[in-house]
Amino acid sequence: MKNEWPLWEIFIRGQHGLSHRHVGSLHAPDAEMAVKNARDVYTRRNEGVSIWVVEAKHIAASSPSEKGPLFEPSESKIYRHPTFYDIPDEVGHM
Amino acid sequence: MYAQMIKTASNGIKPREEMSEEERAFQDKIDNDIKIEPRDWMPEDYRRTLIRQIGQHAHSEVVGQLPEGNWITRAPTLERKAILLAKVQDEAGHGLYLYSAAETLGVSRDELIELLHEGKMKYSSIFNYPTLNWADIGAVGWLVDGAAIVNQVALQRTSYGPYARAMVRICKEESFHARQGYDAIRAMAFGTPEQKRQAQDALNRLWFPALMMFGPSDAESTHSEQSMAWKIKVKSNDELRQQFVDQTIPQIEYLKLDLPDPNIKWNEERGHYDFSEPDWPEFFNVIKGNGPCNVDRMKDRVAAWDDGEWVRDGLLAHARKKAARKVAAE
């Protein structure tokens, strides 16, 4: 059996009130060690208040070739944005 | 820089009309500064060249810990020791970011480390020079990390997304490295006459090896053209070297140290400093494995890898056992 430690993706909450963001990856034998290593690698300069780790093989991703069908339909739906609507000045801030 | 003499895996630039539709779309993205991401289509040669370059860059970060680690136990004060420890720890992190970037291209970290240990991949020539005294540690931070920043700032605009993002992180930390180095050498340059002598000696010895970090002159750098077209390389070796010289001379003058090269002179017409070329035969000799410390560096790396094997295997065996027990309990 190949003895390379599995790859983990690391997510850090930078400040209270913000969501976790992907910051990078690392190798670790298990989740506990992945958290410890993430602490050493990605939070040495006050970058975080919380860490999530996910083994990379468990992440399902959209395929680059589906970019068109997935994301282009929203480009034409400009009425989904507030700026699409003119509100008369007299009405004031809305 | 930390990547020198990367052989681009291609035979010159393909004219646009000879490109396939995929290749054209790929080149258009690069020309429009759209980043290439791991699962996007890319030419096989682009992928192979990037693995070589990022891998060599990663190896350099890791091997670069050795000359500095040499001085951790002998730092002159507790504060300098804590700073040096933090810097060396950063280098390990930089290695990790870069190996991770390389892994998105379909090679594993262990494979890259094996290639290094078999002598099939290289690391920067600079780390084959010894650190003889404490002044060298200051000079390494100031000059070597200073040169690294020049190169890595440019690479933040490289076309491969994971590599560019690793560079952004690394540059932030690298700035601390250069500044702590200058601070250490400054203390010596303005210290006792003996300390000043050591600072001067460190500058004299490390100046040319630092200039070599940018790789051979553009005239000799035969593989650059395709790498520039792919924006794997963003600026030429000579351009980066000149930038480093121009920014470093005033820093030397501030320290009231003698310039390490009698030919350094401001050239009004060019708007740059003139300087002597490094000893290129020496550079090629070091790259070939005949520098002062090549053998020691590889011996230390291989020993660290071999001696750590039982720890890596033990932790993994434990993790597998725990996972199996959990499955059994369910």
User: What confidence score (pLDDT) does residue B222 get?
Assistant: 65
Q: Where does residue A29 fall: left (phi above 0), alpha (psi -120 to 50 degrees), or beta otherwise?
A: alpha
User: What confidence score (pLDDT) does residue A63 get?
Assistant: 85
Contact flag B319-A64 (C-beta cutoff 8 Å): no
Residue B1 in this model has a pLDDT that exceeds 60: no
Mean pLDDT for B239-260 is: 97
Residue from B316, B318, B321, B327 whose CB has the most chain A CBs within 10 Å, to mutate = B316
Assess contact for A28 and A8: CB atoms under 8 A: yes
**Is position A42 within any domain?**
yes
Lowest mean pLDDT among A46-60, B6-20, B221-235: B6-20
For the CA atoms of B69, B209, B223, B23, what is the dihedral angle to 10 degrees? Answer: 40
**Is position A19 within any domain?**
yes
A61: number of Cβ within 10 Å: 7
User: What confidence score (pLDDT) does residue B225 get?
Assistant: 83
- Total domains in chain A come to 1
Residues of A with CB under 8 A from a CB of B: 3-5, 7, 24-27, 29-30, 33, 40-41, 44-45, 61, 63-64
Any idea what the CATH number is for the domain that residue A37 is in?
3.10.20.520
Residue B228 in this model has a pLDDT that exceeds 60: yes
**Is position A92 within any domain?**
no
Contact flag A4-B100 (C-beta cutoff 8 Å): no
**Is position A93 within any domain?**
no
Give residue A77's domain range. Answer: 7-86
Residue from B61, B97, B311 whose CB has the most chain A CBs within 10 Å, to mutate = B97
Per CB-CB distance under 8 Å, the chain B contacts of A26 are 96, 100
Assess contact for A21 and A48: CB atoms under 8 A: no
**Is position A31 within any domain?**
yes
User: What confidence score (pLDDT) does residue B5 get?
Assistant: 67
**Is position A33 within any domain?**
yes
**Is position A94 within any domain?**
no
Q: Where does residue B106 fall: left (phi above 0), alpha (psi -120 to 50 degrees), or beta otherwise?
A: left
The pTM of this model reads: 0.92
Give Cα A1 distance to the centre of its chain: 32
Residue B242 in this model has a pLDDT that exceeds 60: yes
User: What confidence score (pLDDT) does residue A1 get?
Assistant: 53
Mean pLDDT for B32-46 is: 93
B319 near A CB under 8 A: yes
**pLDDT tens column, B310-328:** 999 999 999 999 999 988 8
What pLDDT band is residue A67 in, cutting at 50, 70 and 90?
confident
Per CB-CB distance under 8 Å, the chain B contacts of A3 are 312-313, 316
**Is position A73 within any domain?**
yes
Lowest mean pLDDT among A49-53, B252-256, B279-283, B323-327: B323-327
**pLDDT tens column, B84-136:** 999 999 999 999 999 999 999 999 999 999 999 999 999 999 999 999 999 99
**Using CA atoms, how far apart are residues B160 and A75, in angstroms rounded to an integer?**
26
User: What confidence score (pLDDT) does residue B202 get?
Assistant: 98
The residue in chain A having the minimum alpha-carbon distance to the alpha carbon of residue B323 is: A30
